[in-house]
Amino acid sequence: MSTWQAVLVAVCVALVVVGVGPVLAGVYQYLLVPLHAFRNHLGRTAPHLPNVVIVVPAWNEGAVLGASLDRLMRLEYPPDRLRVLVVDDASTDDTPQVVLAKAAEHGGRIVHLRRAQGGQGKAHTLNHGIRHALADDWMQALLIMDADVIYRPDSLRRMTRHLADPEVGAVTAFIREGSHRPGAVARFIGYEYVTAQAAARRAQNVMGAMACLAGGAQLHSRANLEAVGGQIDTTTLAEDTFTTFLTQLDGRRVVFDGAAVVLAEEPDSVRALWKQRVRWARGNVQITRRFRSVWFRPGRGHRLGSVDFAFIWFSVFLLPVAMTCAAVGLVGLYLLDAVAAAQAFRTLWWVAVVAYVFVTATTLLLDRDTARRSWIEGLTFPGIGALVVMLAAWFPHLWTDTLPALFGLDLTPTGLTVWTLVLYTWSVLAMVLAWLVRKVEGAPVLRWLTKPLLYVVGFGPVLCAITLDAYVKEWRGAAQVWDKTEKTGRVMG
End-to-end, the C-alpha distance of the chain in Å comes to: 67
pLDDT of residue 490: 60
Q: How far apart are CA 5 and CA 21, in angstroms?
A: 25
Q: Is the pLDDT of residue 484 over 60?
A: no
Question: φ and ψ at 231, to 5 degrees?
Answer: -160, 165
pLDDT of residue 162: 98
Q: Is the pLDDT of residue 115 over 90?
A: no
> Residue 208: CB partners within 8 Å, gap ≥ 6?
253, 303, 306
Q: Is the pLDDT of residue 239 over 70?
A: yes
Name the percent of the chain lying above pLDDT 90: 74
What residue type is 244 in one-letter code?
T
pLDDT of residue 269: 95
pLDDT of residue 425: 96
pLDDT band at 230 (very low <50, low <70, confident <90, very high): very high
C-alpha dihedral (333, 21, 296, 463), degrees to nearest 10: 110
Q: Is the pLDDT of residue 376 over 70?
A: yes
Q: What is the mean pLDDT of residues 289-318?
A: 92
Mean pLDDT for all residues in the chain? 91
Q: What length does the chain have?
A: 493
Are the C-beta atoms of 327 and 424 separated by less than 8 Å?
yes
SS (HEC) of 403-428: HHHHCCCCCCHHHHHHHHHHHHCHHH
Which DSSP category does 489 fall into? Answer: S
pLDDT band at 407 (very low <50, low <70, confident <90, very high): low
Are the C-beta atoms of 181 and 226 separated by less than 8 Å?
no
Q: What is the mean pLDDT of residues 361-367?
A: 95
Pick the range with the lowest mean pLDDT from 230-239, 387-396, 461-470, 480-489: 480-489
Pick the range with the lowest mean pLDDT from 89-93, 111-115, 220-224, 264-268: 89-93
Are the C-beta atoms of 323 and 26 separated by less than 8 Å?
no
pLDDT of residue 5: 84
Q: How far apart are CA 344 and CA 379, in angstroms?
A: 25
Domains of the chain: 3-19+316-476 (no CATH), 41-268 (3.90.550.10)
Q: Which residue has the higher pLDDT, 484 or 95?
A: 95
Q: What is the pTM of this model?
A: 0.92
pLDDT digits (tens, 9 = 90+) for 22-31: 999 999 999 9
Q: Shortest CA distance to 213 belongs to which of 249, 253, 155, 256?
A: 256
Q: Is the pLDDT of residue 486 over 60?
A: no
pLDDT digits (tens, 9 = 90+) for 254-289: 999 999 999 998 889 999 999 999 999 999 999 999
pLDDT digits (tens, 9 = 90+) for 79-93: 999 999 999 888 888
Q: What is the mean pLDDT of residues 170-199?
A: 94
Q: What is the mean pLDDT of residues 171-191?
A: 93
pLDDT of residue 231: 92
pLDDT of residue 478: 77
Are the C-beta atoms of 353 and 393 separated by less than 8 Å?
yes
Q: Is the pLDDT of residue 214 over 60?
A: yes
